[in-house]
Amino acid sequence: MRTVLVCAAQAPFIVGGAEILVSELKENLERRGFKVDVANVPFKWYPVSELVRQALAWRLLDVTESNGTPIDLVIPTKFPTYLVRHPRKVTWLFHQHREAYDLFGTAYCSFTEAPEDRQVREAIHAMDTSSLSECRSIFTISRNVADRLARYNGLPGTPLYPPPHHQGRYRVEAYGDFLFYAGRLDRLKRLDLAVDALARVRGGARLKVAGSGPLEPELRKQIARLGIEDRVELLGFVSAEDLVALYASCRAALYHPLNEDYGYVTVEAFLSAKPVVTTNDAGGPLEFVTDGETGVVTSPDPDAIAAGIDRLWALPEARLREMGEAGRARVADITWDHVIDRLTESIR
C-alpha cells in the first residue's frame, strides 16, 4: 500500500474551503487505496514580522518516513506547506500568500512600504521559488493560480480543478426570482458591491446570501441604509440540503470576488445548470464564465452589475436553461478520479 502525506496549514478555529478540500483529498486518496494522513501545522497570517518564522517551521520537519516506513508521496497545498522537504514532493497549490503578491498595494493587504515589510515580502518570494522548484510536479487549483506562479516566481503550474463539496447532488428545479451567493462573507468576496448593485436593478431581482463571516454586520447596515431589506436576504449558515436546493431554484448565481483563486460558486452553479453573473476582474470564475454564453460578465461597479442583472432578468427561461446547460458541459470533466490520477501518477 502506497503512503501519502497531505500537508496543510490552518489558523486555529477557522475552517474554510481549503480545510474542506484537504479533508476531501484525504478521503478520495483513501478511496483509491492509498494509506493517507494529514500533517497540519497551525498558521496565522499576522503579524507580518512573524510570517517568515512560521513558514520556516515547515523546513525543519522530517517527513521522509513514519515508524520506519517510508512515505511515498508528499502533497503540500498552500503557503507555507510547500517548504517541507521530501524527495517525492508534488504540490497541489491552493494559493500562495497573496498579500506578498497580487494583493500588495491594495486595500486588502497588511504589508506596507516599510523596509521591514519589504524584507518579509522578498523572503516569501525567495522561499516560494526555492521550495516549489524542488517539486516533481506543481499542480494548481486553477489557471489563475498557475498564472500568478509563472508571473511572480517564473515556475510552471498545471491547472487541476477540484470538484465541489456536494458533487453528484446538484440539480435543477426552476429558474426563480432570485440570485444566489454561497460562501464566506469577507472583503475579498465583495458582497458590498453586490448589495449596491441590487439597489440599482430595475427588473425586480432579489439576492439570497448563504454564509457567515466578518463582513456580515457591515452588510446588514448597508442593506438597511439602502432600504432594500426586501431585495437582499442574509441567510447565514445553511444545511447541505438547503444549499443544493437554493442552487436548484435560483435564477442565476452572483459571484464577483477580487481575482479569486478558483471559486466553487461558479462550478456549483453550473452543475445546477444556472448561469453566473461575475465581473471582468474576478479571476477564477472567468475560466468558466463567458459573457452571453454561460453567464454575464460586467465591469466591477454597481451600475454595470445592475445592468447585467437586468439583462439576465429579461431573458426567457429557455435561454437561461441553455446558458446553464452550456456551463454544466464546461465543468463535466472535473472529477476526483482525475485529480487523484494526476497527483499520484509519479508513484503508480
Query: What domains sit in the chain, N to C, each tagged with a CATH number?
Result: 3-161+335-347 (3.40.50.2000), 178-330 (3.40.50.2000)
Q: What is the pLDDT of residues 13-25, one digit of tens each?
A: 767 778 889 999 9
Q: Which residue, chain included where needed, has cell 456549483?
A: 268
What CA–CA distances, in Å, run from 266 to 5, 201, 209, 253, 286? 30, 22, 15, 7, 9
Q: What is the pLDDT of residues 248-298, one digit of tens each?
A: 999 999 999 999 999 999 999 999 999 999 999 999 999 999 999 999 999
What is the C-alpha to C-alpha distance for residues 256 and 300, in angstroms, rounded to an integer? 8
Q: What is the mean pLDDT of residues 21-41?
A: 95
What is the C-alpha to C-alpha distance for residues 126 and 153, in angstroms, rounded to an integer? 8
What's the predicted TM-score (pTM) here?
0.93
Spatial contact of 213 and 184, defined as CB atoms under 8 Å apart: yes
Question: Closest by alpha carbon to 218, among 189, 242, 247, 238?
Answer: 189
